[in-house]
Amino acid sequence: MKSSDCVNMETLNGLAGNAGVAVREPRIRSGSGNNNVLQGSFMLARYDSGMMIHTCDSTELADVDSEFELPPGIGVTAILNGELEFFANGERHYFDVRDSRTPQCFALFGNQPRTLKRCVRQGRYLRKINVSVDSSWLERYIGNDALLIDQTSNLLKGPTNLVSWQASRRLIALAEQILNPSYPTALQQSLLIESRALEILADSLSRLTDQQDNCPNQRALNRARDYIEANLSTIAGIGEVACHSGMSVSTLQRQFKRQYKRTVADYIRHRRMEWVRKGLEREEMSIGEAAYLAGYNHTSNFVTAYRRHFGTTPGRS
């Protein structure tokens, strides 16, 4: 379903609902006075195969935070122009592509449901496309190809990953055809959009798996991350992780930072914060217990770190 001109919150929620995306109650910081959130074109559709395609070419008219949950899988976004801000599992990401000569792409993927918070800000412009599929879609299309099964399994290891790169000319051309389909009938346009989205997804998956294969010690890095995920509350230090991965501490530090864009210690802190945040939201633990499980001896230090990480205090998550 596609919407154009001015789009209000009710329309956005309706489009999301039709595509099977459950949006939590949006937080409206300030508005345009008439409940309009976007001006321009906006499309969100889920195809019969399960693929979801989202496009927008619009100016943001209000300050609104919308939070929703995506299933395990992968989403590829091409930003052709403008600004995009969002939080993935509490971590802020901001892309500035106001110089339209440098379009950007990024892939967000993981093996667990991902909580996303989209930050719409008055006066910003954004022109982008997004193609998303869940892990069951990938399994159906991969079939019995052992190499692809292994590559995809390694790619989706861990809860949430983000990899970005500069968009190629080919990918930009594919994105433009989705934003401006030229066929005269609705059926032809729908088929064109889905075929171009498949090409974008295939191109991006090829890039991601090639990058993964070119990373030295990939299997050892997978062991390190798997060990961290399985022992978040008990890990005593980096040496313990290095021992279970089969790498030296220095090699683990270097390769982990190269592959995951953060140090081992930063990754552990980030994952512990996400873990205790869920426990606090579900009222399964007190703030004191959350502080201890996150590795803080003093609750005040934990509260400060939590606010820095999520932008709010533990009691208001």
Q: Is residue 154's pLDDT more than 50?
A: yes
In this structure, are residues 51 and 131 in contact, taking their beta carbons and an 8 Å threshold? yes
What digits encode the pLDDT tens for the residues 245-259? 888 888 888 888 887
Are 250 and 198 contained in the same domain? no
Whichever domain contains 245, its CATH number is 1.10.10.60
Closest C-alpha among 72, 139, 61 to residue 112: 72
Domain span at residue 80 reads 2-213
Please indicate, yes or no, whether residues 12 and 34 belong to a single structural domain of this protein: yes
The residue among 191, 213, 235 that closes a domain is 213
Please give the pLDDT value at position 56. 95
Percentage of the chain exceeding pLDDT 90: 31
pLDDT of residue 1: 47
CATH number at residue 120: 2.60.120.10
Per-residue pLDDT, 195: 94
Query: Looking at the 3D structure of the chain, how many domains does it have?
Result: 2
Q: Who has greater pLDDT, 221 or 156?
A: 221
Q: Are residues 188 and 252 in the same domain?
A: no
Query: Which pLDDT tens digit goes with each residue over 282-302?
Result: 888 889 888 888 888 888 888
Percent of the chain whose predicted confidence (pLDDT) is above 70 = 91
| Residues 84 and 25 grouped into a single domain | yes
pTM over 0.75: no
* Span 112-123, pLDDT tens digits: 888 899 999 999
The mean pLDDT value for 212-241 works out to 80
Residues 205, 233 within the same domain: no
